[in-house]
Structure 1
Amino acid sequence: MKSILFYLPVVGSYAQITKGMAGINDQNYQNMLYQLTKQSQLADDLGYWGVAFTEHHFHIEGFEESNNPILLDLYVAMQTTNIKVGQMANVLPFQNPIRLAEDIAMLDHMSRGRAFVGIARGYQKRWADVLGQTYNVGATFSDRSERDLANRQRFNEHWELLKELWTSETVSTSTEHWQVPPPGIEFNHAAVDEYGRGQDQNGVITEIGIAPKPLQKPYPQVFQPFSFSEESFRFCAREGIVPIVMNTDDEIISRLLDVYQEEAEASGHGQLKRGQRIGIFRDVLVSRDAEEAHYWARRGNGFVFPKWFGPMGFGEVLRRKGEEGAVGSDYETLNERGFEFVGTPDQINRQVEALVANHNPEYLLQWQYSGPVPHDVQMRSMELWQTEVAPNWL
């Protein structure tokens, strides 16, 4: 099982965040970068598979100050040697897919083939509806509404364009929202005919290509967090994408894994092993002292989840099959439902044992809370995980 560290990252300590506006404090941001450097370097030395960041904007509160995950990836890659760097994820409907294809290809080269890619549809209205206004599409929560369908259509369109740009030397394509290149671009440059291509006899541009292409061929491994619906799992299975499961109910997870295996086989990917190309997402904090671990976890995910994610509907990932009514998102519920892998190495080994027995995921995405959880506590947690938990599940 491959361990990926997932950072929002949070900017500011628990005390600073509760005072308000921690996200615009310059020293808080510098402290986050320092901790991220040291933790990524330790993860690299310990043999973690990867480190990932998300894309969210306008987080003046400090909860997840990660407006450009590709830049954070490059920051980490320049200070490490082996660990892979990626995004969980780029919010595809609100991105210019041509620029994104270029940026990821550059990251892959600059990290010498250590990049991986994440794509998502976007759920936070505050920023998605602001940045998405020029694309006439907004945030969604997969409710089959008109907005949801428009979001998915743009997501699929951008994904297809990304793939074509990565894998074809030059591209000429037309979709509902994109024509690449637009008609009538008169360039008439002799160097294009002499050294490149994509210009007709009248000097009009007919094809374009990005350069460089990704170093990894045909392109880096792609992930989609956080996948909830069977429709998303079928899409991921067809495309060879790794879905990241956030749900905690074993019956629900099993059904999603069944769907993935069925669709992958039907799409010509062969018979995958159970859990192959699947990721599970959990909050992870390891300590010699279980009480200490839970104390800090309450100030990490136990603070951020009910304050930020729960009110946005993420409590649904804790719902058990057939359960009705509201589902809490407090720390006790998170822990009782199995989202928290928090405690001693022995305790967490038992949780991982059950996870592997039930689902055997290829990847485990581990939520990290630099800021609310002190730097030294996280560093010890990473070392304990990689020396006393991970070796049992390689």
Structure 2
Amino acid sequence: MKFVLFYLPTVGTKAQFEKGMAGINNQNYQNMLRQISAQVRAADEMGFYAVAFTEHHFHIEGFEASNNPLLLDLYMAMQTKYIKVTQLANVLTFQNPIRLAEDIAMIDHMTRGRIIVGIARGYQKRWADTLGQLYHVGATLSDKSEMDIRNRRIFEEHYRIMIKAWTEDTFRYEGEWWKIPPDDVDFNHEAVRKYGRGIDERGKVVEIGIAPKPYQKPYPPIWQPFSFSEETFRFCGREGIVPFMLNTDETAIRNLMTAYYDEAAKVGRQYSWGQNIGIFRDVLVAKTDEEAHQWASIGNGFVWPMWFGGLGFDEALRRQGESGSLRCQYPELVERGFEYVGSPDTVNRYIEDLVKKFNPEYLLMWQYPGLVPHEEQMRSLELFATEVMPNWMD
């Protein structure tokens, strides 16, 4: 198994959150950068596989102050030697796919192949509907609504453009939203004729290409979080993308994995059970179960019910056949199996059960700097690396 640290990141302590507007406090942000840097440097030395950041905007409250995960990736990569960096995820629907393909290729070179690409569709309406105005698209809840269908079409078009940009020296593309290059672009330049390509005999641009191409060939690995949708898992199976799931219900997990492998097999990809699959859990280790739950209850125990539960994440914890509304607090997160929290022995037993049932290739581990004191986070990483991780590494 490969172990991946996931940072939102939160900005501020619980007391600072409760005062309001913690996300715009400069010292809070500096403290976050300092603490996560120290944690990631330690994780690099301890042998963790990767560190991941998310993309969300307008987080004045402080919950997910991570506008650009690529910048955070580069910042952490420049301080480390081995640990891979990823984004969970770049929200493709609201970005210029050519610019994003270029940025990723550059960072792939700057890190000499330590980057993994993360892609997603976007679910938070406050920022997604604001930034999606150009394409007249907004957030999606995978509900088969008109907006959900439009969001998926734009997402897949942007994905196709990025793949072409990475894999073809020069390319053309004509889709529902993009025509690359547009008609009648005049660039009758002798240097292009002598040293490049992509213009016709009239000097009109007929193809474009990005430079550099990715360091990794044909392009970096691609991951996708955190869909509950079978359609997304089938898309990932066709494309060889690693999906990450929040689900805790065993039947739901099994059904999504089966859909993934069924679709992969249709295009000739054969995987063993658990291969190319990621599971997402809140992970915190302390000397005793009681101490670990004390800290986790002010980490995810605060953030989940205050922020994520109201954004639809409770659905990931729904049991097969269960009806009615969910509003999960920390005890429900524990009881439903999302919290891998406790002593090293307890966390080992959680992972042992996970391996027996699903054997995922990746475990994504939620971390809470700021809310959980830095020294407790560092102690958790050390306990996990020395007393848990060696039992399960590939």
TM bucket, shorter chain = over 0.9
- Residue in 2 aligned with 1:277? 276
Letter in 1 for 2:261: Q
Partner SS state of residue 351, structure 1: helix
Using the alignment, how far apart are the partners of 2:369 and 2:205 within structure 1?
48
Partner SS state of residue 30, structure 1: helix
Letter in 2 for 1:379: M
- Residue in 1 aligned with 2:370? 371
Using the alignment, how far apart are the partners of 2:89 and 2:303 within structure 1?
19
Partner SS state of residue 328, structure 1: coil
- Residue in 2 aligned with 1:33? 33
TM (norm. structure 1) is 0.99
User: In the alignment, does 2:363 pair up with 1:341?
Assistant: no
Using the alignment, how far apart are the partners of 1:51 and 1:313 within structure 2?
25
CA deviation profile, 1:128-162 (whole Å, cap 9, x unmatched):
00011111110010000000000000001101111
- Residue in 2 aligned with 1:389? 388
Using the alignment, how far apart are the partners of 1:144 and 1:110 within structure 2?
40
CA deviation profile, 1:220-268 (whole Å, cap 9, x unmatched):
1101100211111110000000000100011110111111111111111
- Residue in 2 aligned with 1:63? 63
Partner SS state of residue 365, structure 1: strand
Using the alignment, how far apart are the partners of 2:208 and 2:258 within structure 1?
40
Using the alignment, how far apart are the partners of 1:258 and 1:177 within structure 2?
33
Letter in 2 for 1:248: T
Per-residue deviation, 1:208:
0.4
User: In the alignment, does 2:247 pair up with 1:229?
Assistant: no
Using the alignment, how far apart are the partners of 1:287 and 1:213 within structure 2?
44
Per-residue deviation, 1:289:
2.1
Partner SS state of residue 297, structure 2: helix
User: In the alignment, does 2:315 pair up with 1:316?
Assistant: yes
Partner SS state of residue 281, structure 1: strand
User: In the alignment, does 2:331 pair up with 1:332?
Assistant: yes
- Residue in 1 aligned with 2:87? 87
Partner SS state of residue 388, structure 2: helix
Using the alignment, how far apart are the partners of 1:143 and 1:261 within structure 2?
23
Partner SS state of residue 220, structure 2: coil
Instruction: Supply the RMSD in Å over aligned alpha carbons.
Output: 0.7
Letter in 1 for 2:101: A
Using the alignment, how far apart are the partners of 2:245 and 2:312 within structure 1?
16
- Residue in 2 aligned with 1:186? 186
- Residue in 2 aligned with 1:260? 260
- Residue in 2 aligned with 1:53? 53
Using the alignment, how far apart are the partners of 1:386 and 1:392 within structure 2?
10
Per-residue deviation, 1:173:
1.3
Partner SS state of residue 134, structure 1: helix
Per-residue deviation, 1:381:
0.5
CA deviation profile, 1:7-51 (whole Å, cap 9, x unmatched):
000000111011100000000000000001100100000000000
CA deviation profile, 1:50-109 (whole Å, cap 9, x unmatched):
001000000000001000000000000000000000100001110100000001001100
Between the aligned residues of both structures, percent identity stands at 64
- Residue in 1 aligned with 2:9? 9
- After superposition, where does 1:142-153 map in structure 2 within 5 Å? 142-153=142-153
Letter in 2 for 1:312: L
Partner SS state of residue 207, structure 2: coil
Letter in 2 for 1:369: Y
Partner SS state of residue 299, structure 1: coil
Partner SS state of residue 227, structure 1: coil
Per-residue deviation, 1:327:
1.9
Runs of 4+ in 1 over 6 A off after TM superposition: none
Using the alignment, how far apart are the partners of 2:54 and 2:155 within structure 1?
17
- Residue in 2 aligned with 1:121? 121
Letter in 2 for 1:184: D
Per-residue deviation, 1:202:
1.3
- Residue in 1 aligned with 2:133? 133
Partner SS state of residue 15, structure 1: helix
Which structure 2 segments of 5+ residues have no match? none
Using the alignment, how far apart are the partners of 2:347 and 2:136 within structure 1?
45
- Residue in 1 aligned with 2:209? 209
Partner SS state of residue 197, structure 1: coil
User: In the alignment, does 2:303 pair up with 1:304?
Assistant: yes
Partner SS state of residue 226, structure 2: strand
Using the alignment, how far apart are the partners of 2:293 and 2:103 within structure 1?
39
CA deviation profile, 1:361-385 (whole Å, cap 9, x unmatched):
0000000001100101001111111
Which structure 1 segments of 5+ residues have no match? none
TM (norm. structure 2) is 0.99
Per-residue deviation, 1:316:
0.5
- Residue in 1 aligned with 2:358? 359
- Residue in 2 aligned with 1:241? 241
Using the alignment, how far apart are the partners of 1:215 and 1:363 within structure 2?
23
Letter in 1 for 2:387: E
